[in-house]
Amino acid sequence: MQRIVVERSGGVPVTKRAHVGAVASGNLEVLCEPPAEARATIVVSTSVDGFEPVWRATLERFLERYPIAAAIEINDFGATPAMVSLRLEQALELAR
Amino acid sequence: MTPTALRRSYVESTPRERIAALADPGSFREILDPFARCSSPYLAEQGVVAQRDDGVVVGRALLGGRDVAAVAVDGRFLGGSIGEIGGAKIARVLERARDGAFLLLDTGGIRLQEANLGLLAIAEICDAIVALRERAPVVAVVAGRVGCYGGMSVAAALCSQIIMSPVGRFGLNGPEVVEQEAGIEELDARDRPAIWQATGGVRRVEQGHADVLVEDDLDELARALRDAFRASPNRERLSLERLRNRFAQEAPR
């Protein structure tokens, strides 16, 4: 099990809470909340070790594309990067 | 001819979508949602990522105007297994229920990673069901992909009524357990037709182990659930006496 944190300052804060997905095979759970300060913080817990560069690339691309401020928690059970992006966008749609 | 409306599948819905679709519209109030972050403290140390609601959704809802407890087990997370936290959520919400409860069970039973704590939790759930069903209906729905096995099958059997779909399966021991314990001659756990022939919804309703069979359709299930509440506890309850009689009738001489 591995923990990865990605942070970026600034951005437009999300206004609502959103919860999508499940900790199920090839899937992930995303909890998205308005942040305490104007920054995006994404904390990942993943059951699959050794994919930190892929996680960082996926999450940084998401924050590049959507410059938001939010506290995001990800609980992952072996989701692919495509699935991760999809869930993050789904959460964002509900949280903005 | 009117065009056929698309069915809304129970199987394809998430636990929260299921409760929302079955309860009176907009009436569900979740207790300890994922943001309460009540997850299992035992999984991380065993290298398993926890889900923030511990795979159990509970709360209060209206069902045909009745104030009931609503429970849905998330079969996607660790086979819908019941650990200490999820089990406590179910037991507490049943203990506080006013006019009955419905339980959407998609569960393999006790969570092996939490062993005795899961056992204890299921004992509490069974206790709460027996206390509540004396004064109000407690209806179980077994219509998900996992089905309902292990300790939670006992909990389901204690309910006033059980509603199943052909997708649902219901039994004490799951197929893998039967194969391991009784041998592959008894049951091949990969033999899906055999599993559904023995424990599937159609069979269980035929046998009288479950009460109502509905298609995998949320609207149909919502109707069946309301009917079950109107009918109130008409199901012959699981009792030692009933089991003794049944055994006397069915056991080979």
Token digits for B216? 């995998």
Q: pLDDT value at position B249?
A: 83
Closest residue by Cα to residue B27 from B60, B69, B75, B74: B60
Whether B238 has a pLDDT exceeding 50, the answer reads yes
Contact indicator for B78, A52 with CB cutoff of 8 Å:
no
Chain B residue with CA closest to A25: the answer is: B76
Chain A residue with CA closest to B43: the answer is: A1
Q: How far is A67 from chain B (nearest CA, A)?
A: 23
Contact indicator for A87, A28 with CB cutoff of 8 Å:
yes
Q: pLDDT value at position B9?
A: 97
Cα–Cα distance for residue pair B125/B152, rounded to 1 Å:
9
Superfamily the domain B15-250 falls into: 2-enoyl-CoA Hydratase; Chain A, domain 1 (3.90.226.10)
Average confidence score pLDDT of chain B: 93
Cα–Cα distance for residue pair B124/B155, rounded to 1 Å:
10
Q: Which residues contact B87 (CB under 8 A, 6 or more apart)?
A: B56, B117, B118, B120, B121, B122, B124, B125
Q: pLDDT value at position B232?
A: 59
Q: Which residues of chain B have a CB within 8 Å of the CB of A47?
A: 47-49
**What is the complex's ipTM, to 2 decimals?**
0.95
pLDDT tens sequence across B104-142: 999 999 999 998 999 999 999 999 999 999 999 999 999
The single residue listed with the structure tokens 């219901």 is: B170
Q: pLDDT value at position B244?
A: 79
pLDDT tens sequence across B63-106: 999 999 999 999 999 999 999 999 999 999 999 999 999 999 99
pLDDT tens sequence across A16-62: 999 999 999 999 999 999 999 999 999 999 999 999 999 999 999 99
How large is the average pLDDT for residues B35-46? 96
Test mutation, A2, A14, A23, A90, chain B, max B CBs within 10 A: A23
The DSSP string of B76-140 is TSGGGEE-HHHHHHHHHHHHT-SS-EEEE--B-EE-GGGHHHHHHHHHHHHHHHHHHHTTS-EEE
Token digits for B123? 């004992």
Structural domains of chain A, ranges and CATH numbers in brackets:
2-95 (3.30.230)
Contact indicator for B109, B195 with CB cutoff of 8 Å:
no
Q: Where are the beta strands (DSSP E) in A34-81?
A: 39-46, 68-77
pTM for this prediction:
0.91
Whether B182 has a pLDDT exceeding 60, the answer reads yes
Parallel, antiparallel or unpaired: strands B161-164 and B138-142 = parallel
